[in-house]
Structure 1
Amino acid sequence: MLRVEELRITQGDFALSAAFEVLRGRRVAVIGPSGAGKSTLLNALGGYIDIAAGRIEVDGQDVTNAPPDRRGIAMLFQDGNLFPHLTLAQNVGLGIRPALRLSEAETDRVMDALGRVGLRDFADRKPGDVSGGQQSRAALARVLVQAKPLLLLDEPFAALGPALRAEMLDLTSEVARDAGATVLMITHAPEDAERSADDLIFVDGGRAEAPRPVAEVMANPPEALRAYLGR
């Protein structure tokens, strides 16, 4: 479970507040206008930016002041963060040990993760030698090998075409479901939320609303969300 208690984030003149719970295994779309604070929210949950107040719990553990690698959280950023001079296997291995001194068992975990996303035969290739979709799969494999209970997605597939983006969202959902992980994913596309999420968090006006079932929200969106969706 993810529990966010009276969270407040301030950056200059910008402020965002949030208070909600997400049950383990739920897939949650985070949606809202550009600049509303969606990425700010996920970065705060992941420990990449400071918060002004509040408390963050992951599976009952207070991680409010914990560093990113001690939060039980894995984050997939917009650019995938693959290192061009490393092979796909090495990039995935960074999810286990930044120094890449892997044991035989850990190397097997890397290969298993690459196999899970269909890249076992591309392990020795570098990011520049594979397609954008394959790069996205490698980034997902690096998240998978970390085996964290909470996965945060900051629009990592936004640059992909509609068909490939849908494929990656389906693969992410499948991987998360198999691992029993909770997913929070930012998207600007309502169809992605309807396709891949159980619940929806709407961020606007300085607040991240509590999650509600996607079908329920889309069937009768509040006025601010209706305006965002252009309905």
Structure 2
Amino acid sequence: MKPVLIIQNDAKEGAGQLSTLIAERGLGQETVFGYDADYGKLAADDYGALVVLGGAQSAYETGEYPYLTDEIALCHDFMQAGKPIAGFCLGAQILARALGGEVSPGATKEIGWYDLVLSEAAADDAILETHPKTLLAYHFHGDRIENVPGAVNLASSDITDCQLFRYGSNVYGFQYHAEVDQPLVEVMCRNNADYMASNGFDAEAIIAEGQRNLPTFAEACKGVLNRWLDLVMVRGTA
């Protein structure tokens, strides 16, 4: 089985629960830092799937962070090879841009615990089979995704219209953080406590909310991520 390639865009924020589930499947995983990767050596044919994680960067800041252009191109390569892709937060925005969609600053930050509501289209989606219609979910973003050509919008929140989209049958962009476990929530909040405070959010309060809310959220996301990994097992080995 070919390994899963994970692009990590923050030095401290890994793949959380998703990394654990990949290991439980017996799949290899190779993690590289997006800002320090040798993209010339990252060939889609060498991997079973691609995961692109979040970070403080914005997907439209390619002038300030030129490697984001490389990440966009990498998404193209994996799509052309028919390999499964999952993008989370910034990763979803990079994936949206790779598909010709728009990413722009939102009217307000969405940080902490907010309801995620599935769309009607989600009823027929392969990885959302047992997902509740409404789920209190963990978010950490200020940008929004819009107008992704050919994509199906699968979920929204009161603040963000596009929280989850699918392109084709095995490419998914998660604006919310379906990959988190409790350690990752704590790292994300404490690593960004000053930024959160400057926008009116209390890092420790959100961590405490996570201790109450994460078990239900993580269990629902575990089902979703495992079904995405089912796609990887079937389609990502060629």
Q: Give the shorter-chain TM-score range.
A: 0.3 to 0.5
TM-score normalised according to structure 1 size: 0.32
Could you state the TM-score of these two structures normalised by the residue count of structure 2? 0.32
Q: Indicate the structure whose relative CO is greater, using CA pairs within 8 Å and at least 6 residues apart.
A: 1
